Structure 1
Amino acid sequence: MAIFVLVAGAWLGSWAWDDVVPTLREAGHEALPLTLSGLAEKRAVPAGQQTHVRDIVDEVERLDLRDVVLVGHSYSGIPVGQAAELLGDRLARVVFVDSNVPADGASFVSTWWEGPAKLEAAIAGNGGSWAPLTAVDCEGQGLTDEQTARLVGGATPHPGDSLAEPAVLARPLGELPATYIKCLLDGAEPNDDVAALLTSEQWRLVEMDTGHWPMFSQPYELAQLLLEAAR
């Protein structure tokens, strides 16, 4: 039995995995969705990026979990990648779902595709947090109107400190056993940093014909890919 620890991306909490968890459990595995500090029901908790790394590691150690398949979506791939290194033999595999990946000394802001200054200004202009996504942000991502409304309606501001704090890696990320799930409506090819990691024999690439939030647009299909990754 694998134990899936599921961490959603920016603005989202454990609730984002509600449609994925049942399929994993019906297949005989455990699934533990995790809300990071500063988000959803933990919105009042101050959080930097290393807080998020500790959120993940502390939960795994507190529950004494083994055979962990650690899943990170979007932003959370950055703390998930760092946490995966710290789990040692508790980790079975890490799965990055259309996510960012950590680079030692780099932050989410520093690698922002539109340039760091633009994201820094957006965070500063929103009182130190990244304003939640809107329905416009979801266009072209394979979501129904109902799915979009649920995603946008549940989103909360994302703590800016977690986006600005640099990642810390003890060893090359390519040494981890990893699967990268690329959602094609969000770009046909992985980013250059991911493409470089995919040259490792430890990494696998899987594609989904959907948008950036597959836990909403194709939850059953995503769960099946997670089950395959755990085999």
Structure 2
Amino acid sequence: MAEFVLVAGAWLGSSAWDEVVAPLRSAGHGTHPLTLSGLAEKQGVPAGQQTHVQDIVDEIERGDLHDVVLVGHSYAGIPVGQAAERIGERLSRVVFVDSEVPVDGGSFASGWWQGQAAFEAQIADNNGYWAPLGAADFDGQGLTDEQVARLIEGSTPHPGATLTEPAVLTRPLGELPATYVKCLLDGPEPNDTVAKLLTSDHWRLVTMDTGHWPMFSQPTELARILLAEAA
């Protein structure tokens, strides 16, 4: 049986996975939804990029977990990708859910579509945090009003340093056993970095006909995909 370590993207804590956890547990797997430092119930805890990487590694080592399927959504793909390298033989597979992926020496901010300076200005204007989204920002993402309300209720400001500090990779990410889940309502194609990684024999692509937050919009389907990746 696999041990699923589940890490949600910016603004969100472990509760984002509530509707995904149940079918994974019903299938007999271990589930470890994780809240990263500075978010949700851990608000106020100082956090940089490497803090989040260590949060994930610590969760796995503290529980002495093996056969780990490490799942990172959105922003969390960056610390998850780094942690996947660091846990060695404990890793079974890493699953990137419509996520960013780490680039050695790069950050979430350095890949921002409007440019790094524009993103860092947002952080500076919000006292060092990335402000959560509003209801209108979820339009077109396949979410019901109730699901949007849950998302907003579960969101807290995201520590800016985790988004601006660089990732550190010790070997090519394409060497990891990985699956990339592309959510088509958020864009039909993976970004260029992911597309290049998908040329590796160790990586495979799965698509979902939903938006960027499938743990809310299609949790049962996402759980089915994760179960298939653990097989």
TM-score by length of structure 1 reads 0.99
> Which structure 1 residue ranges, 4+ long, deviate > 6 Å from structure 2?
none
1:100 alignment partner AA: E
**Deviation at residue 153 of structure 1 after TM alignment:** 1.5
Name the CA distance, whole Å, in 1 between partners of 2:64 and 2:154: 30
1:194 alignment partner AA: V
* Corresponding residue for residue 14 of structure 2: 14
Correspondences of 1:17-166 after superposition (within 5 Å): 17-166=17-166
Correspondences of 1:168-183 after superposition (within 5 Å): 168-183=168-183
Cα RMSD over matched residues? 0.5
* Corresponding residue for residue 205 of structure 1: 205
Name the CA distance, whole Å, in 1 between partners of 2:88 and 2:164: 27
**Deviation at residue 133 of structure 1 after TM alignment:** 1.1
User: For 2:19, what is the secondary structure of its paired residue?
Assistant: coil
User: For 1:216, what is the secondary structure of its paired residue?
Assistant: helix
User: For 2:75, what is the secondary structure of its paired residue?
Assistant: helix
Name the CA distance, whole Å, in 2 between partners of 1:114 and 1:215: 27
**Deviation at residue 117 of structure 1 after TM alignment:** 1.6
C-alpha distance after superposition, 1:87-113 (max 9, x if no partner): 000000000000000000001001111
**Deviation at residue 46 of structure 1 after TM alignment:** 0.4
Name the CA distance, whole Å, in 1 between partners of 2:56 and 2:175: 20
Name the CA distance, whole Å, in 2 between partners of 1:90 and 1:185: 33
Name the CA distance, whole Å, in 2 between partners of 1:157 and 1:123: 10
Name the CA distance, whole Å, in 2 between partners of 1:189 and 1:102: 18
Name the CA distance, whole Å, in 1 between partners of 2:154 and 2:204: 32
**Deviation at residue 154 of structure 1 after TM alignment:** 1.3
Structure 1 gaps of 5+ residues are: none
The alignment-based identity, stated in percent, is 75
**Deviation at residue 136 of structure 1 after TM alignment:** 1.3
**Deviation at residue 194 of structure 1 after TM alignment:** 0.2
C-alpha distance after superposition, 1:2-35 (max 9, x if no partner): 0000000000000000000000000111111000
Name the CA distance, whole Å, in 2 between partners of 1:230 and 1:201: 18
* Corresponding residue for residue 226 of structure 2: 226
User: For 2:78, what is the secondary structure of its paired residue?
Assistant: helix
User: For 2:123, what is the secondary structure of its paired residue?
Assistant: helix
Name the CA distance, whole Å, in 2 between partners of 1:227 and 1:113: 33
User: For 1:20, what is the secondary structure of its paired residue?
Assistant: helix
Aligned length: 231
User: For 1:69, what is the secondary structure of its paired residue?
Assistant: strand
**Deviation at residue 184 of structure 1 after TM alignment:** 0.1
C-alpha distance after superposition, 1:54-75 (max 9, x if no partner): 0000110011000000000000
